């Protein structure tokens, strides 16, 4: 136990924790974008968008051995713990850094390092703000409750990004949010390479391009979703077979079912 405490209390230990929690969140982002891209797949059965099937599978994973949504809640707790540990450790490192402010010739290097740390702090705070908005919008449904239905992901995405007076604002928030996420990810990946000691003058160009590539790929894949809805590329949500729950959720104009898939035919 004391070895774990000693590790956590050391600067190197804290940097490794920041890198490891950052990596875990990157893993989540990759899984999340792969899940989100299911909006582009055809309905597995008429009236049921593929992304909704996937969301339902996440909720029922492990049943009947586990209670309903137990896996999802365990995963949420893990993710929340990861974010909290990441933020607390970053704040502790910043405090240690401030206390060790050097004088003399080291000053310029320090100023450069602290400018980049400041950019990470600011982008991290913006990212948290974006995340809170995003959860209230597409998970909890409080931002536009009249046009939100739990578990109907395609319907919610369509209402957010394809219709309604707030649509341009939502699209702008998500695109700006993705710029912030990608910037933070690029800088974070680059500093993680340094923390983990895999940086080296022979490899640095390749590592920098890896960090840029990761950030750009995630930006493009995530942003494709609001852009596809906003530009009219996507079909309206299908009417669920046998009932009309969606149209009764309020407000949104929902047209008849499409079992063809969700990208509109050219």
Measure Cα distances from 18 to 25, 68, 85, 90, 102 in Å: 11, 32, 8, 7, 23
User: What's the burial of 75, exposed, middle or buried (CB within 10 Å: 0-12/13-18/19+)?
Assistant: middle
Smallest distance, Å, CB 45 to ligand HEM? 19
Q: What DSSP line would sit under 127-168, residue for residue? A: HHHHHHHHIIIIII--TTGGG--TT-HHHHHHHHHTSSTTHH
Contact 262, 224 (CB under 8 A): no
CA 241/CA 165 separation, integer angstroms? 29
The token duo for 250 is: 């309020």
Interacting span for ligand HEM (CB under 6 A) from 8-16, 108-116, 127-135, 204-212? 127-135
Q: Does 76 bind ligand HEM (CB under 6 A)?
A: yes
Q: Does 226 bind ligand HEM (CB under 6 A)?
A: yes
Residues 45-64 close enough to bind ligand HEM by CB under 6 A: 55
Interacting span for ligand HEM (CB under 6 A) from 62-70, 135-143, 164-172, 186-194? 135-143
Region of 153 on the Ramachandran plot (φ > 0 left; ψ -120 to 50 alpha; else beta):
alpha
Q: Is 44 helix (H, G, I), strand (E, B) or coil?
A: coil
Residues 77-96 close enough to bind ligand HEM by CB under 6 A: 79
Q: Does 32 bind ligand HEM (CB under 6 A)?
A: yes
Smallest distance, Å, CB 135 to ligand HEM? 6
Instruction: Build a one-symbol-per-residue string for 147-186: x at contacts with ligand HEM by CB under 6 A, - elsewhere.
Output: ------x---x----------------x---x--x-----
Nearer to ligand HEM, 186 or 222 (CB): 222
Contact residues toward ligand HEM (CB under 6 A) are: 29, 32, 36, 55, 76, 79, 131, 134-135, 138-139, 153, 157, 174, 178, 181, 222, 225-226
């Amino acid at each position: 136990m004391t070895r774990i405490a000693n590790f956590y209390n050391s600067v190197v230990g804290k940097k490794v924790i920041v890198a490891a929690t950052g990596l875990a969140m990157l893993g989540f982002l990759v899984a999340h974008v792969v899940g989100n891209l299911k909006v582009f797949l055809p309905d597995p059965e008429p009236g049921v968008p593929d992304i909704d099937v996937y969301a339902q599978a996440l909720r029922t994973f492990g049943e009947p051995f586990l209670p309903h949504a137990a896996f999802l809640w365990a995963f949420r707790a893990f993710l929340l713990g990861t974010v909290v540990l990441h933020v607390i450790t970053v704040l502790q490192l910043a405090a240690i850094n401030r206390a060790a402010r050097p004088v003399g010739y080291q000053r310029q290097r320090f100023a450069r390092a602290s400018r980049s740390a400041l950019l990470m702090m600011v982008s991290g705070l913006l990212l948290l703000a974006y995340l809170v908005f995003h959860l209230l919008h597409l998970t909890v449904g409080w931002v536009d409750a009249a046009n939100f239905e739990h578990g109907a992901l395609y319907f919610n995405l369509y209402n957010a990004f394809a219709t309604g007076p707030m649509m341009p604002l939502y699209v702008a928030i998500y695109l700006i949010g993705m710029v912030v996420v990608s910037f933070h990810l690029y800088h974070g990946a680059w500093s993680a390479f340094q923390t983990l000691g895999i940086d080296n003058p022979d490899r640095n160009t390749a590592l920098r391009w890896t960090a840029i590539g990761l950030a750009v790929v995630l930006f493009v894949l995530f942003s494709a979703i609001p852009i596809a809805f906003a530009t009219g590329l996507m079909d309206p949500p299908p009417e669920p077979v046998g009932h009309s729950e969606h149209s009764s959720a309020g407000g949104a104009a929902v047209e008849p079912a499409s079992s063809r898939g969700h990208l509109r035919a050219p």
